[in-house]
């Protein structure tokens, strides 16, 4: 094995007031192990603590309310039982000297009536049906046309975000990440293909930015900007295969300007389409977007150690988030440092199940 401990990727780094052990971030990954009430299992504390050698852990996407749910067995942060379960997880990570942020999530139209009480329709900025299918309790089903939110409902969702941020503080997290990526609710408001509203939350780019920025401000009210990050995905096409925005670079450049003015701790950018490619499309330049934001920049999507080192040397990112390799390699940081081989997790263990294929992966001998 080649010892790589001299790499800057493994050196301690500070972003804002947050001291991190290294520049590797465990990316948020939905694993679908919570119960039907959105309560993470006891063994989730082992799962996260085992990976606490990462400089920062960002949890799996966590629903801010019952209305926010889109997929089975995903965790929440609106009930006392959920808060208690997350506190046990946070305590386990802190016991291993780790840092952990909770990712706040509302799926919007990326949901299905089967996920909601009484078969209620998912909500969205506009009544536009997504392409394809979604996984629910009993398998895959076609997406439905969501219900467009009434103007007076939007402040209620902002309060759901505020309450979720407060609950994350009660659970002891080190901060929170606002999920504004992958065509979930905040991005649905941002994009001109999914937001066709005619009130103050639709139409012009300024109006389309209004709801996401109001959410971010509400979360900042709870945590302070120095403990709030945000995740974006400028070139994602999910759930279809066509661009979601007619002027992607203008949309996200203006968004990042506004987020930078709010002094957020970091932006977490999915550079490309998750699990597919790192291609810059629609006139998007990841390096240019990085320069539009004055806080820390976390780069994500198919990063290897070599790519991370080259990107860091150019000054195009500060930290690097890695997802799937963390599934089967709880000691991923140590393996990368030592140049050791990485285990691979079969896809059958990615979503659903129990501790098997989740918190039982062995570390290096």
Using pLDDT thresholds of 50, 70 and 90, give the confidence band for residue 276: low
Cα distances (Å, whole numbers) of residue 321 to 23, 248, 255:
8, 23, 21
Is 184 noted as a catalytic residue in this protein?
yes
What's the domain range around 255? 8-349
Better pLDDT: 2 or 195:
195
Among left, alpha and beta (phi > 0; psi -120 to 50; other), residue 339 is left
Whether 161 and 216 have beta carbons less than 8 Å apart is answered as no
Residue 361 lies in a domain: no
Domains of the chain: total: 1
Residue 204 lies in a domain: yes
Residue 201 lies in a domain: yes
Calculate mean pLDDT across residues 313-327. Answer: 96
Residue 357 lies in a domain: no
Residue 364 lies in a domain: no
Residue 365 lies in a domain: no
Residue 355 lies in a domain: no
Helix, strand, or coil (residue 187): helix
| Residue 318: CA count within 13 A, CB half-sphere | 20
Q: What is the predicted pLDDT for the residue at 2?
A: 43
pLDDT tens digit sequence for 79-116: 999 999 999 999 999 999 999 999 999 999 999 999 99
What pTM value is reported for the model? Answer: 0.96
- Cα angle, residue 150 at apex, residues 148 and 151 outer, rounded to 5°: 125
Which is the catalytic residue, given 71, 184, 303, 358? Answer: 184
Residue 25 lies in a domain: yes
Using pLDDT thresholds of 50, 70 and 90, give the confidence band for residue 215: very high
Using pLDDT thresholds of 50, 70 and 90, give the confidence band for residue 42: very high
pLDDT tens digit sequence for 136-147: 999 999 999 999
Calculate mean pLDDT across residues 199-217. Answer: 98
Using pLDDT thresholds of 50, 70 and 90, give the confidence band for residue 3: very low
Q: What is the predicted pLDDT for the residue at 240?
A: 72
Where residue 72 sits, what CATH number does that domain have? 3.20.20.70
């Amino acid at each position: 094995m080649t010892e790589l401990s001299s790499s800057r990727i493994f050196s301690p780094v500070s972003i804002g007031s947050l001291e991190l052990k290294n520049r590797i971030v465990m990316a948020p990954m939905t694993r679908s192990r919570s119960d039907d009430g959105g309560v993470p299992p006891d063994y989730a504390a082992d799962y996260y603590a085992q990976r606490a050698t990462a400089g920062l852990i960002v949890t799996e996407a966590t629903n801010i309310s019952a209305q926010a749910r889109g997929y089975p067995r995903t965790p929440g942060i609106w009930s006392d039982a959920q808060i208690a379960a997350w506190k046990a997880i946070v305590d386990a990570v802190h016991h291993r000297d780790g840092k952990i942020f909770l990712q706040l999530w509302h799926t919007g139209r990326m949901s299905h009536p089967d996920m909601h009480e009484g078969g209620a329709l998912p909500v969205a900025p506009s009544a536009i049906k997504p392409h394809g299918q979604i996984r629910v309790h009993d398998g895959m089903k076609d997406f439905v046309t969501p219900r467009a939110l009434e103007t007076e409902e939007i402040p209620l969702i902002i309060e759901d975000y505020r309450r979720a941020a407060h609950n994350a503080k009660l659970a002891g997290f080190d901060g929170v990440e606002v999920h504004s990526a992958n065509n979930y609710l905040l991005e649905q408001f941002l994009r001109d293909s999914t937001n066709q509203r005619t009130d103050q939350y639709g139409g012009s780019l300024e109006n389309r930015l209004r709801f996401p920025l109001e959410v971010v401000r509400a979360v900042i009210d709870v945590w302070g900007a120095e403990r709030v990050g945000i995740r974006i995905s400028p070139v994602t096409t999910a759930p279809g295969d066509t661009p979601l925005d007619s002027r992607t670079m203008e949309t996200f450049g203006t968004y990042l300007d506004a987020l930078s003015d709010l002094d957020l701790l970091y932006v977490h950018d999915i550079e490309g389409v998750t699990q597919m490619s790192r291609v810059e499309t629609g006139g998007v330049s990841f390096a240019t977007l990085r320069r539009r934001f004055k806080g820390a920049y976390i780069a994500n999507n198919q990063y290897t150690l070599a790519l991370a080192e080259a990107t860091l040397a150019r000054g195009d990112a500060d930290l690097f988030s890695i997802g799937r390799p963390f599934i089967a390699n709880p000691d991923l940081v140590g393996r990368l440092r030592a140049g050791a081989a990485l285990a691979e997790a079969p896809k059958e263990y990615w979503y659903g199940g129990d501790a098997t294929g989740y918190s039982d992966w062995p570390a290096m001998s």
